[in-house]
Structure 1
Amino acid sequence: MASVEQRIRDTFRDAGAAGWLHAVPVVDAPSREIGVGADEQVVMASVYKLPLLVALCQRFADGTIDPTATVRVHPQSSSPGPTGVATFLDPVTLSWRDLAASMIAVSDNAAADVILGAVGLDAVRDVLTACGLAGTKVVGGQADIEASLVRDTGATSAAEAFALLADNDEALTVSVYDPAFASATTARDMTRLLSHVWSDAVVTPEQCALMRRLLRQQVWPHRVRAGFPHAGVVVAGKTGTIGAIRNEVAVVTFPGETPIAVAVFTFAARADAALPAVDAAIGECARLAVTELRSGRW
């Protein structure tokens, strides 16, 4: 019988994508892990919102930002996006923690840009250093991604740039696909960060509990969640998508069992707006890895 790592590679290949994965139990000294290219740098896309959330919650904990204080967001002056405040027609007032909820639950680009503007890139980089995430870098937010795409594609707007990116007849070389230039990480770094959040190691227990709550509220069921359609199984995660890139990092918890952190990153041969085969492969690869770890009970 093929190893679980080989079955994961076969699943990525059959979906028409390159893939990277790491899965590990959230315990102090796990004796087992599953890895496929776990230490290779990959583009984060919206997964960067996870360390950004940690940086924000550190500001909550040290009193720099009051989580219940309100902030006014003007959609027309924010990064565009298909979800959340980015889709609104009128200005809206939210608390900082509700803005964070929108950033995580529906990957709200406008919310993320406001939060990044408040905490700053240096605070996000401090999170990476403190957590020992040597393979991870965050170079900017959604506004920076859009500016890079417009520049690389020669488009006149972000919407036009994303349309060109999704056109498989265009042979585009864009920096947002290159870990050397874009915000990048490794699958192992992201399971390490999730493990820190689940063990209350990255900030106060109260703020770690808030982060776990927000990550459980992510609405997307088509990637990691699709691998675990069982009642009682909790999946808490964060997706990331840019063109041919589709990712998700998550913690999967079966009732009465140790949670398992899993990070899956993919780069597809096509850049269509919808790639259900790749989304399904993310769920299946997560299922294969988590099932293997559960079977051994480490």
Structure 2
Amino acid sequence: MGVPPVTPTARTRITAAFTDAGVTGQLHATDIDTGTTITVGADLESPTASVHKLCVLAALYRQAAHGRIDLRRPVDIPAEGRSPGATGLAAMRDAARLSLRDLAGLAVAVSDNTAADLLIDAIGLDTVNRTMTDLGLTRTIAVHTMRELYATLHEDAGGTPAALTDPTVVARLRALDPTRTNRSTAREIAALLAAIWRDEVCTGEHARELRAVLGLQAWSHRLAAGFPFDDVRVSGKTGSLPTLRHEAGVVEYPDGGRYAVAVFTCAAATTVTLPTADAAIGKAARIAVDALRA
């Protein structure tokens, strides 16, 4: 029996969910096992913000699977010189020592920028980009580390964090220009997740550990909010910058259904807190997955 086609009604409802929340949005959802997809503007390039940490972890575990790096290798982390951020090592005050795989856990669980940059330091941005190219994701490109990304925010805001809510300042941020920052498309990020779940990035224990790490995220106010069920597992990674709220992840149902979903949004408002935009990510993802399961 063939897979029924996705109806245009689902796309209309997804677009309406974005509009009602005051955002423009792109979405790509795919059934990992059948390849059936639903898309809304999925090929538009967007700044990835912390969603790009998915690419860093994919490259890290692929290198480990090829025997080029030991995930248990310890890294000494001085108290000074850490990447900016409100969570994880950036918010801690004392020197620490962690393995690469524990840094990977922090990079996902609390979107730790310092942890992500230490991983990038270990494997190099060139390796991250080469891994994406090897996987056929030619529009997924990293041009700087998290510390470098935040340096552009600091410079473009004139060193005044409050200015990042000023529409005039926001309009000139390099971090929001996909030609000058880390970037991808919803289609390619969803394809990366599908590849991880299909053992195409790495295999065996490395693949199982990578998927487990991607299930550690503490935030549940975006993608996971659309699937409030005890028996549905959501593994995801958020990304946030002024006006941008993204999340990409995999939704796994108890009947074996597996769906990779990437949702990128841009709000008209420059306010830091916009719960309707966060909720729209989960709502749009749920509409897409329900359509794929129909």
TM-score in terms of structure 1 length: 0.93
> 1:79, 1:86 within 8 Å by CA — same for their partners in 2?
yes
Q: CA deviation at 1:81?
A: 0.7
Matched, 1:273 2:272: yes
Aligned residue number for residue 3 of structure 1: 9
2:121 aligned with 1:94, yes or no?
A: no
1:76 aligns to what SS in structure 2?
coil
Q: Secondary structure at the match of 1:216?
A: coil
Amino acid at match of 1:146: Y
| Cross-structure match for 1:120 | 124
Shift of the 9–217 alpha-carbon distance from structure 1 to 2, 3 Å rule, reads same
Tell me what 1:243 maps to: 242
Which of 19, 25, 47 is 1:19 aligned to? 25
Report the residue type matching 2:21 in the other structure: A
Contact conserved, 2:170 with 2:242, CA < 8 A, in 1? no
Deviations 1:201-255 (A, max 9, x none): 1123221111110111111000000000011100001110011111000100110
1:14-163 maps to which residues of 2 (within 5 A)? 14-27=20-33, 29-30=34-35, 32-155=36-159, 160=160, 162-163=161-162
For 2:257, what is the secondary structure of its paired residue? coil
CA distance in 1, matches of 2:259, 2:292: 8
Deviation of 1:182 (Å)? 1.1
User: Aligned to 2:80, what secondary structure does the other structure show?
Assistant: helix
For 1:2 and 1:66, how far apart are their aligned partners in 2?
47
AA partner of residue 131 (structure 1): L
Deviation of residue 63 (structure 1)? 2.8
Deviation at 1:194, TM superposition (A): 0.5
Higher mean displacement: 50-59 or 97-106: 50-59
Structure 2 residue identity aligned to 1:274: T
Once the two structures are TM-superposed, the CA of residue 256 in structure 1 deviates from its matched residue by: 1.6
User: RMSD of aligned C-alpha atoms?
Assistant: 1.6
**CA displacement, residues 28-78 of structure 1 (integer Å, 9 cap, x when unaligned):** x52x31100011111100011011001111232233322122111124311
- Residue deviations 1:140-199 (CA, integer Å, cap 9, x gap): 1211111212232222xxxx3x43213457564111111111111111101110011001
Q: Deviations over 1:88-146 (max 9, x none)?
A: 01011111100110001110001011111111011001111111112211111211111
- The answer to whether the 8 Å contact 2:47/2:183 transfers is yes
Which residue of structure 1 lines up, in the alignment, with residue 227 of structure 2?
Answer: 228
Question: Residues of 2 paired with 1:53 and 1:5: CA distance?
Answer: 31
Q: Which residue of 2 aligns with 1:289?
A: 288
Summarize deviations over 1:9-40 as a string: whole Å, max 9, x none. Answer: 1111111111000001012x52x311000111
Q: Structure 2: how far apart are the matches of 1:269 and 1:74?
A: 39
Q: Could you say which residue in structure 1 is the equivalent of 2:3?
A: none
Amino acid at match of 1:259: R
Structure 1 residues 237 and 38: CA distance shift in structure 2, 3 A: same
Give the Cα separation in 2 of the matches to 1:173 and 1:247. Answer: 20
- Distance of 2:178 and 2:15 partners within structure 1: 21
Q: Hey, what does 1:205 align to over in structure 2?
A: 204
Q: Which residue number in structure 1 is paired with residue 4 of structure 2? A: none
| 1:254 aligned residue | 253
* C-alpha distance in 2 between matches for 1:64 and 1:81: 29
Tell me, in whole angstroms, the C-alpha distance in 1 between the residues paired with 2:124 and 2:215. Answer: 25
Give the Cα–Cα distance (whole angstroms) in 1 for the partners of residues 162 and 204 of structure 2: 43
Count of aligned residue pairs for this structure pair:
288
Measure how far apart 1:2 and its partner are: 7.0
Matches within 5 A, 1:190-201: 190-201=189-200
Mapped partners of 1:186, 1:17: distance in 2: 17
CA distance in 2 between partners of 1:2 and 1:123 (Å): 39
Alpha-carbon distance in 1 for matches of 2:209, 2:166: 39
